[in-house]
Structure 1
Amino acid sequence: MTATDAIRQALDEQQTVEITTIGRRSGRPRRMETWRYRAGGRYWLSGSPGRRDWYANLLAHPEFTLHLKDQDLPVRARPVTDPAERARVFGEIVPSLSWAGTMESWLAGSPLVEIELGG
């Protein structure tokens, strides 16, 4: 098993993750808990519609730390702004969330980033 395979296995087992971003204004590390999603065989960070500081931080500084069990992994965020790609990804994520609200609200107001794993 490669290191990337081991990371994918850990991600598959852990929906709630912690991430550390770099503050867009302060330049200081900011650690918080969020959910990761899987769609199209890839891993994503998102949230219900609304502004998110972690997303603004990742736009300014795309490198961040993904904390999984006993691993702290340097990864990169790829913000997704293309409407067709957002629709594809949210089309897999949103229907499985009973609390999510409408697809339209997620498309209009939810952040979406792909977690780019190394290797």
Structure 2
Amino acid sequence: MAGFGVKLVRKVSSTRAFAKVAPHVIPAFDRTVHRLTRGKVLPSARMLPGVILTARGARSGLPRRTPLACMPEDGGTWLLIGSNFGRPGHPAWTANLLKHPEAEISWRGRDIVVRARLLEGAEREAAWAAALAFWPPYASYQSRVEREIRLFRLHRTEEP
């Protein structure tokens, strides 16, 4: 995305209005397009890299598919940020990963088996600094909520 486009998207995505509307529109649109294109297209990934996370529900145990922005890391891991667009309460997918850390992601059209780990302490602080450098609007999301935004690192568990 060009510099102006990135700045505009960052500004819009930092607003409370975006936080009200986006959670109802973006994931549904992403899921539909991703399914219709057999995993080849994830519209929100035009703004930020994204995955479709499939994790078992914390209470139901049923598979739950959630489109999420992610931060790919050197070494083949991914950082997931439970910002919930700066809304109160942790997003449901974070509870799912806490209870069932074994999951799968669709990354660039490939299904990859992963294990999620909640980051804490100094490791979380370093990851949070990297996330803010990657996508500055996360700072405005954190400023609007009292909870600490959960960060998860996904590690591949299958052979490449």
TM norm structure 2: 0.56
2: CA distance, partners of 1:39 / 1:103:
22
Residue 23 in 1 paired to residue 23 in 2? no
1:40 and 1:89 in contact (8 A); partners too? no
Amino acid at match of 1:84: A
1:66 and 1:24 map into 2 onto residues whose CA distance is: 17
Q: Which has the larger radius of gyration?
A: 2
Kindly report which structure 2 residues correspond to 1:1-119, keeping only aligned pairs within 5 A, or say none.
Answer: 15-39=49-73, 41=75, 42-48=77-83, 50-80=89-119, 82-101=120-139, 105=143, 109-118=148-157, 119=159
- Distance, in Å, in 2 between the alignment partners of 1:116 and 1:21 is 14
| Change beyond 3 A, Cα 1:61–1:37 | same
Counting aligned pairs with the same residue, the percent is: 31
Q: Mark the runs of 5 or more structure 2 residues left unpaired by the alignment.
A: 1-47
Identify, as 1 or 2, the structure richer in helix.
Answer: 2
**Residue in structure 1 matched with residue 14 of structure 2 by the alignment:** none
CA distance, structure 2, for counterparts of residue 64 and residue 89 of structure 1: 21
Q: Structure with the greater relative contact order (CA < 8 A, sep ≥ 6): 1 or 2? A: 1
More strand by share: 1
1:72 Cα shift? 1.6
Amino acid at match of 1:31: R
**CA deviations over 1:34-71 (Å, ceiling 9, x no partner):** 01113565421113254111110011000001012332
Cα 1:35–1:104 shift into 2, 3 Å: closer
Give the number of equivalent residue pairs: 105
